[in-house]
Structure 1
């Protein structure tokens, strides 16, 4: 827990001409050069806006690549998220920490306060990039990583976007690390998910997928209620030793009782069985369904309850509150920010009840 610590300050300098260029076309992914001072150390960086719909928001999110020196805290790049539609600014970090606590690979994150050309830009969430450094920092075997970037990353032969057969099984994914052979392996897994017979599925799928890790990820999506999480908002990592794929969560601000616009999302919005072709096929197997049920019960007892979550949420809220008061984008809504912990507590109780009451449907 970060409580008691000061939030690090990013002092960012972008030449006015480069800043104008950055702002002229918010959809351009080409970075501009900038300088960043952190803990009195200077870094030469490349910086660009990040995200899709979030680029339209007043408070921008950034992708930072370290150029000289080439790494910072054992990373070559980080994402700086504005969390603009989340009135608590807590949900993304809360979710990613939660995934880690229930046994999933999950990016680390921390709050930072950004100054741009000497002016307060506000409170941000620094997110670890899912790349070769992510693996090395956890002493994990090397392996390919694919980002799920749109609704075609639904583990199906059919597109989620136009409801037609996909022209390529690579659609929906962006290769972060890997070779042409790795792309072939990903396509082979998707074919197998869709073509292994029902009788053979339990025996065969474990040759391609780490089922235990998948069920933990599924549980994380279901508890946090990230409706988009089944077809994008994730990365796939193929463990170089086992050859098995694992799912890594990403972009989890539309969670804990609020949707992508920060509006109320009722606790019964997302069904306990989740969505997507792979989830449906896994939960069709009695053994896996029993494993999933036991996992949900364990998480309800150990992590997804007020006794466990309340001090984390309150501690995070107390840590960032003084910085919210210095953030011109959100400080006028501090009265809403102050109500958010109670809102999240209510969500946890209601969602826990909803899931508890439906555990028997997994028998």
Structure 2
């Protein structure tokens, strides 16, 4: 199997059809889990930035079906993440507020009976390891990531399809921000737009925000993925809905009950399940879908996004920049994370959609 193949299934909204498609795409993108041995530990990394339901977080069936398939094959499966600073805050003194496992259940992603690991619950020193390599030069001092990336034999990335108020998109690469310790989260956000909001979310902690002047916000995000490169087996999206403005949460800013910049949600027709064992190929295809969806963005959501995010070029570049010229993709290729897709294998996808996506890729 060509590692740069993206497998794409068109799906109906009913759960039976969707579950079957998730299983089919998982097995195709991993060559029937050829790397799995009985007893191997597999870490599933969903997008759980907040307690908001899908599509602000990963589709619940994505986690459920992948976990069931792996368990049936004899794997030991752990689902793990750490939510964003607004909902879960930790510093060297301990957890200040929030628990990612609570967000796991509140979002509808899973239940309290699941084996879920809140990365912050593992301890500041004990729960995180230092990572640095020749491919993480935007992190001159390296970064701290959950110890579970070392403990796991394999990792499966389960993002959601969404735009992002700071990064432009929040897809497979951005999903790995959830493996970082909060001091490292502060480090990369300091290079990004709207960092004052991040500093406000860290209020009450001893976390520091120091802009090193390198302007490497996107590069830092991409380079986090180098820490899981050798263990990442597939990146799988379930996209029956997508957020096409703002993100990652349901709004750009919430003050009490007041929501500013509500994310525009689109229902995909057909819904899509897609995956590849090449993370750059998957990311490229996900960006193509967002580009296509945003072409039909209604005037009011578009205007709202432009007014509130006018100073952020990352959002503008999503629509205007060819995929292979986007900083997310270009830097990922430069540091050896993968390549643009060489093959798209479709099932139950309209010819008109195939044609449009081909133009982007």
The TM-score, its normalising length taken from structure 2, stands at 0.31
User: Which structure's relative contact order is higher, taking Cα pairs within 8 Å and 6+ residues apart?
Assistant: 2
Q: Whose Rg is larger?
A: 1
